[in-house]
Amino acid sequence: MAEHYSSFDRGGRRWLFQRLTAVFLIGVLAFHFVLLHFVNHAADITFLGTQARMSSVGYFVTMWLFLVTATFHGVNGVYNALLNQGITGSQKNAVKYLLGAAGILLVVQGTRVALAMTNLV
């Protein structure tokens, strides 16, 4: 039988954050689907409705946290999948910084879009 290998150190911070963000994402994704696919059907969603929802501080914070945790969860997952494939040395560093920069850009652009959708600023 093959030996189990994972780039996550069980009990390490990255391992813990990957699991915590997964739990948060499941909850927020369920909220998103119920609100935007069952309570409001796709045909009923308008820009003004989105602007009204995003202007609520609680909804805005929830969606921004959704953006940040989904970005971290995805970037961390891809990075660790590549580590599991055996990248090391300069490839590992290049991937780490490339994914880190992509994650930061995604959060910055997502924040800009989210703020544009509000009456808060």
How far is residue 32's CA from residue 104's CA, in Å, rounded to a whole number?
Answer: 23
Question: Which residue has better confidence, 101 or 49?
Answer: 101
Q: In total, how many domains does the chain have?
A: 1
**Domain with 29 in it:** 13-116
* pLDDT for position 10: 65
Closest CA to 65 of 12, 110, 14, 19: 110
Q: Is residue 2 part of a domain?
A: no
Q: pLDDT over 90 for what percent of the chain?
A: 55
> Is the pTM here over 0.85, yes or no?
no
Q: Which CATH number characterizes residue 64's domain?
A: 1.20.1300
**Mean pLDDT across the chain:** 87
pLDDT band (50, 70, 90) for residue 9: low
Measure CA 120 to chain center.
23
How far is residue 54's CA from residue 76's CA, in Å, rounded to a whole number?
Answer: 27
Is residue 2's pLDDT more than 70? no
